[in-house]
Structure 1
Amino acid sequence: MLPNTIARAPGSLPLLGHARQLTRDPLGFLESQRALGPLVRVNLGPTPAYVLNDPELVQRVLVRDAGSFDKGRLFEKLRDWLGEGLFNSEGATHRARRRMMQPAFHHREITRYCRVMAEEAERVSAGWHDGQIVSLDEEMHELTLGIVARALFSAEVVRSSSREIGESLSVLLPLLARRSLSPLGALEKLPTPAKLRFDREVVRIRAGIGEIIRVYRHDGSDDHADLLTMLLRADDPGAPDGLRDTHIQDEVISVMSAGTDTSAATMSWLFHELARHPEVERKLHEELDAVLTAGPVSYEQTGKLEYTRAVVSETLRMDCPIWITMRRATSTVELGGHRLPAGTQFIISPRTLHRDPTVFPDPLRFDPLRWLAPRQPEPRQRLAYLPFGAGRRKCIGDSFAWYEMVIAVATIARRWRLSLGARTGGRGRTSAVAKPEARPVTVHDRTKSATTAKS
C-alpha cells in the first residue's frame, strides 16, 4: 500500500502546510487527527509528516523497532541549544552518555534527592500567607528550579549562578517549540529579535555553566554529593578540558531543561485539577493527614501515599505536559500496512493518546481511581501511557520526577488548599510543554481552617 492512500489532514496551505493550525491551536489540531485514522499525514511546511494515533504503532516506533528511527527534525533544531547531550544525542554517543548519567539516578541517589525535594517545597510554600494570591506558574517554576539546581550543584558558592541560569531557561523554553515546528528553516537564520534573544540566552547559559565548572575544578573537592561532581568524575579524562567542559555543559542543560519546565507544568495542572474537583482534593487531604507525621515528607512515606500517587498519575494522563515528540525513519519501515521510506518524519502526541476514548473511557473526566485496585490500567492503556516516553529513549530521570512531584504535592497540600480565580483562557497554553491557562490562585491555610472549625 502506498503512502498516498493514507488519510490526510485538511487545511494544508502551500509552503506553510499546517503551520497555522500548529501555531494557533496545536493541542486541538493534533487531537482532531485521531478521528481520521491510526496514521494521518500532515505537512510541516513542504515536508510531510505522519501523526501516529494508535498505541501499538507508537510502541513499534519507540520500543520494538526503535533501532530503525532517530529523533528527527524536532531535535535537530534544538541542537544549537542542547548540543550533544543525552536528550539530543544518537547512537553510540547516546549510549555512552546514558551510561555516564545512570549512576546519578540510582536508587541510593534518589533517596538523597528526596530530602532536597521536601526542603525546597517547604521553602517555597512557607513564604505564602493565608488568602494570598500567587502566580502558580512562577511558584512551581521556582520550586522545580530549586530542586534541580540543588541536585546538580550542591556547592553554595555557585547557587547564585544557578539562579541566573534558571532565569535564562524561563526565556528560552517558550521559544523552543516555535523553532522546532517552524516550516521554513531558512527564516530561523535571519537576525530577528526572537533569534537574537534566543542566541543571547544560549550564550548566557553556557557561560554560566562554564563558570560553575571552573569553580568546581579550581575547588578540587570530591566532597560535593551532586550530579555535576559525578559528571566531572565520569567524563573522558583523556579529552582536552575544553571538549570535556562542552560535553558537561550539554548534560547540565539537558537535565535543567527536562527537569524544570515539565515537572512545574505537571504540578500546576495538578493543583488546578484539585481546585476543580473538591472530592478528589478531600480524599487527598484525608490521606495526607492520616499518613504524614511532623517533619519533612520522607522517601519512606511516599510508599504509603497511594491516592496521592494516583492523583499524580491521573494528572500525567489527562494533562500530560509533553504534547509532541518526533521520530524519523532511518530506513524503509512498514507501519499499519504502509511502506514508508527512510527520512519519513513521525509525530507522536502523548497528550492525545492519553485522551483517546477508545483507550481510556471517559477520558476528559479526572479520575485518580483509574490507577488503583481493583480497576488499574489494562495492557492497552499501559501501552498508550507515555508521560516519560518509552524504550531506549525513555526519560532517564523518570523516578526523580515521580518522587519530586509526589513529595512536593504532599508537602504543599498538607498545609495549603488552592482555589482558582476567574477563567482567562481556553484549554491551555503550549510552549516547550503544555501548561494550564493563566489564572489567579488564592492559597488558604488548612491549619487555620482546622483551628477555626474546632473553636
Structure 2
Amino acid sequence: MPQSLRLPARAALLSRCLPELGVPRQPPVPPAATRGPRSLAEMPGPSPAAFLYDLLCRGGLRRLHELQVEGRARYGPVWKASFGPILTVHVAEAGLIEQVLRQEGDFPVRSHLSSWKDYRVCRGHACGLLTAEGEEWQRLRRLLGRLLLRPRAVEGYGGPVADVVGDLLRRLQRQRDRHPQHLVPDLAAEFYKFGLEGISSVLFASRLGCLEQEVPRDTETFIRSINTMFVMTLLTMAMPKPLHRLFPKPWQTFCEAWDYMFAFAKGHIDRRVAEAAEHGEPAEQMCLTDHLAREKVPMKTIYGNVTELLLAGVDTISSTLSWSLYELARHPGVQAALHRELAAAFGTGCSPSATALGKVPLLRAVVKETLRWGRGRRPRPCLRPQLHPCLCPHPCPSPLSSSPPPSPSSPPSLAPSSSPSPSSSLSLSPSSPHPH
C-alpha cells in the first residue's frame, strides 16, 4: 500500500490564516482491491486518431489546458495519449503527482525532448540542465544548485532583481494610466517580459530593455524565437526523422529559433566574460556567468546551461507569478493576511531585501503551495479578479488584475496534468472559474 501523504506545513499555515480554506486533501487513489496493478495497455485514453484530431482540427495546440480538463473528466486521474511516436501518461491528481515525484531516483527522467537533443548534436552544443541526463545532469544540478539556490547565493542576486521588480511596477502603472478603464490590457505578456528581464540580470548581469516603453528589436526577436521553438518542438518530435528530408520546413524553423537563442545568450555571456577579463571580477553583485567562469567551467558548457536557464527562467518566473497572483485574487482572505504580514515586516514604500524573506513565512507558503498542487499546470488566459492595491511594499495605488499567460508546451512522457483535482487548500473548486 502506498505511504499516506501528509498535509504540508505550508498548507497548514494557510489554513490557520484563513480557516475557511482548510479543505482536507483527498487521499491517494488506492489500487483495486480485487486485482493487481493494471498494465499500460489497459490504461484509458483517446485513440491516436482521436487525439490527433483534437490537436490539429479542434485547435488543441492552442488549448492544451482544456484538453487536459476534458481528459480528467472523461478518463479519471490517470490516462494516456499518443501523438506519432510520442506516448504520454497524464497524471491529474495532486496526491498521485506527489507520489510520482517522490519515487524518482537519483537521476530523475523528464520529458524525452528528442528534437532538442538532436539539435544540440547537429550544432555541436553542450547539453544543459534541461537536456542532460544521468550523472551529467546530477553534476550540473549540484553545481548550479550551489550557485543559484543556496540562501547566501540568493542574497547576492537580491539587488538586481529588486531593480527589475521596481521597473515592472512602474511599467504596469504606465499601462494602467494610458488605459481608459485603468487596466493592464495584457498582464500575461508583461509577466513574460519581467521573467526575461529578471533571469537575464541573474544569469549575465544584463538589462535587456524588456520593461522599457520601446523594447529593443533583438529582445523582441528572442521572445518570438522562444514561442516559435515551443510550437515547433511538438511537431518535430512527432515527425519521424526520415520525414525531415521530405518536409524540411518544420525542422529548419525549429533550428533557426534555437540558433538565435544560442547566439543571443552567447553575445551577452561573451560581453560579461570580456568585462571581467578587462576590469577584474566585480566585488559584489556577481552573476551566474561570473561564478561559472570562476569555477573554470568550459565555455561550451556555460553557453549550453545559461541558454537553457534563460529559457526556463522566463517560463517558470512568469508562470509562478501568474498562478500565485491568480490564487490570491481568488482567495481575498489569504491576500489580506499576506498584505498584513508584508506591511508588518517591511512597512510601505520600501524595497525588501533578500535577507528579510525569513520574516514573511506566509508569502513563501503561498508560492510553495501554489507550486505544489499546480506544479505541472500550464497557464492559460483567465478572468480578471481584483488584487489588493498594496500586496507588495512598493507603491501601487489601486488594484491590479491577475491573468495567467498562455504558454505553449509539448507533452512530456509523464505529464502532471493541468487539471489536478481539488486536494489542497488552494485548489480550484468545481464552482470556481477555471483558468482556460
TM-score class, shorter-chain normalisation, is 0.5 to 0.7
Shift in Å, 1:13: 0.6
Is contact 1:6-1:41 (8 Å) kept? no
State the TM-score, normalized to the length of structure 1: 0.61
Name the count of aligned residue pairs: 336
Counterpart check, 1:125 vs 2:169: yes
1:77 and 2:115 equivalent?
yes
**TM-superposed deviation, 1:155:** 6.4
CA RMSD, Structure 1 to Structure 2 (Å): 3.9
Partner of 1:223: 282
Post-superposition offset of 1:296 = 0.9
Distance (whole Å) between structure 1 residues aligned to residue 42 and residue 287 of structure 2: 50
Which region of structure 1 is more displaced relative to structure 2, 147-156 or 19-28?
19-28
Q: Using a 3 Å threshold, how does the CA distance of structure 1 residues 208 and 51 change in structure 2: closer, same or farther? A: closer
Compute the displacement of 1:131 (Å): 4.1
Q: 1:102 to 1:306 in 2, by over 3 A?
A: closer
Unaligned runs of 5+ in 2: 1-36, 380-411
Partner of 2:81: 42
- The unaligned stretches of length 5 or more in structure 1 are 237-243, 325-344, 367-422, 429-455
Q: Secondary structure at the match of 1:70?
A: coil
Residues 1:308 and 2:346 aligned together: no
Residues 164, 197 of structure 1: alpha-carbon distance in 2 compared, 3 angstrom cutoff = farther
**Aligned position for 1:378:** none
Instruction: Report % sequence identity.
Output: 21
Name the SS of the counterpart of 1:8 in structure 2: coil
Residue matched to 2:301: 247
Cα–Cα, structure 1 residues 245 and 31, in superposed 2: closer, same or farther, change >3 Å? same
Q: How many angstroms apart in 2 are the aligned matches of 1:152 and 1:314?
A: 27
Structure 1 residue 250 displacement after superposition:
0.9
Q: Is the CA contact (8 Å cut-off) linking 1:151 and 1:226 kept in structure 2?
A: yes
- Measure, in 2, the Cα distance between the counterparts of 1:273 and 1:362: 7
CA contact (8 A) 1:51 1:348 kept: yes
* Distance across 2 between alignment mates of 1:232 and 1:246: 11
Question: In the alignment, what sits opposite 1:145?
Answer: 196
2:224 counterpart SS class: helix
Can you list the C-alpha shifts for 1:191-234, whole angstroms capped at 9, x where unaligned? Answer: 43x65554333222322333334334444122271100111222
Contact 2:88 2:414 in 1 (8 A): yes
Aligned ranges 1:337-416 → 2 under 5 Å: 346-349=413-416, 351-352=418-419, 355-357=420-422, 359-360=423-424, 363-365=427-429
Q: Is this contact kept in 2: 1:266–1:321, CA < 8 A?
A: no
Q: How does 1:35-184 map to 2 (within 5 A)?
A: 36-37=75-76, 39-53=78-92, 58=97, 61-66=100-105, 70-73=109-112, 75-79=113-117, 80=119, 83-105=126-148, 106-127=150-171, 128-129=173-174, 131-132=177-178, 133-134=183-184, 135-154=186-205, 166-182=219-235, 183-184=238-239
Report if aligned partners of 1:206, 1:249 keep a CA contact under 8 Å in 2. yes
| Residues 417-436 of structure 1: pairs in structure 2 closer than 5 A | 427-428=435-436
Per the alignment, do residues 92 and 17 of structure 1 end up closer, same or farther by CA in structure 2, a change over 3 Å counting?
Answer: farther
The structure-2 alpha-carbon separation of the partners of 1:166 and 1:247, relative to structure 1 and needing over 3 Å to count, comes to farther
Tell me, in whole angstroms, the C-alpha distance in 1 between the residues paired with 2:200 and 2:102: 32
Q: Distance in 2 between matches of 1:247 and 1:78?
A: 16
Distance 1:314 1:14, change over 3 A: closer
Match of 2:256 in 1: 200
Cα 1:299–1:235 shift into 2, 3 Å: same
